[in-house]
């Protein structure tokens, strides 16, 4: 499995190919969302909604063999595409890797510019929640 850094660099170079054209970037992000695994209907409940997002985002985390598996969904295609990137970078990793991750790819691909500052806040809450889950699993493993 590639490292968090390797996956981020992969994403950065994919976005570099798209260049400055906002339109193609958005279409690309929307397509990425299609790649996200189907979100389990049973998990589509209020407790799994992330606060701070204007569009709705559902997020769950499960521990499998000491690794954290994230599942996520959104009711908007662009947000869904963006969270698919986070899932791609963080899902399937050890809790400590996740909680310590420096997610520099977000700035590098110009996410704030793409989605506007309000959505960026939503994304920040999404990341906070992912790290929070990771810390919780970490605490459990250490207990």
**Residue 62 · residue 68 · CB < 8 Å:** yes
* Structural tokens at position 32: 């990425």
23 is a site residue for another protein (CB under 8 A): yes
Single residue of 2, 6, 22, 132 touching another protein by CB under 8 A: 22
Look up residue 73 and give its DSSP letter. E
- Stated as kind and residue range, the H or E segment containing 102 is none
Minimum Å distance from CB 19 to another protein? Answer: 11
Residues 126, 86: Cα–Cα separation, whole Å: 9
**Residue 84 · residue 32 · CB < 8 Å:** yes
Single residue of 60, 79, 99, 129 touching another protein by CB under 8 A: 79
Single residue of 3, 5, 13, 54 touching another protein by CB under 8 A: 54
14 is a site residue for another protein (CB under 8 A): no
Minimum Å distance from CB 105 to another protein? Answer: 20
3 is a site residue for another protein (CB under 8 A): no
Report the residue number, 5 or 75, with the smaller CB distance to another protein.
75
Footprint (CB under 8 A) of another protein, residues 94-123: 114-116
Radius of gyration of the chain (CA): 15
38 is a site residue for another protein (CB under 8 A): no
SS3 call for 97: helix
Residues found near another protein in the complex (CB under 8 A): 20-23, 25-27, 30, 54-55, 75-79, 114-116
């Amino acid at each position: 499995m590639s490292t968090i850094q390797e996956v981020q660099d992969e994403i950065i170079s994919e976005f570099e190919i798209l260049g400055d054209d906002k339109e193609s970037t958005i279409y690309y992000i929307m397509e990425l969302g299609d790649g996200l695994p189907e979100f389990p209907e049973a998990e589509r409940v209020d407790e799994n909604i992330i606060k701070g997002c204007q569009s709705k985002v559902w997020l769950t985390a499960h521990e499998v063999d000491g690794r954290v598996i994230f599942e996520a969904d959104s009711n908007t295609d662009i947000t869904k595409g963006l969270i698919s990137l986070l899932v791609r970078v963080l899902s399937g990793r050890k809790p400590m890797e996740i909680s310590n991750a420096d997610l520099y790819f977000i700035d590098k691909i110009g996410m704030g510019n793409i989605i506007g500052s309000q959505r960026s806040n939503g994304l920040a809450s999404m990341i906070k929640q992912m790290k929070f889950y990771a810390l919780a699993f970490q605490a459990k493993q250490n207990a």
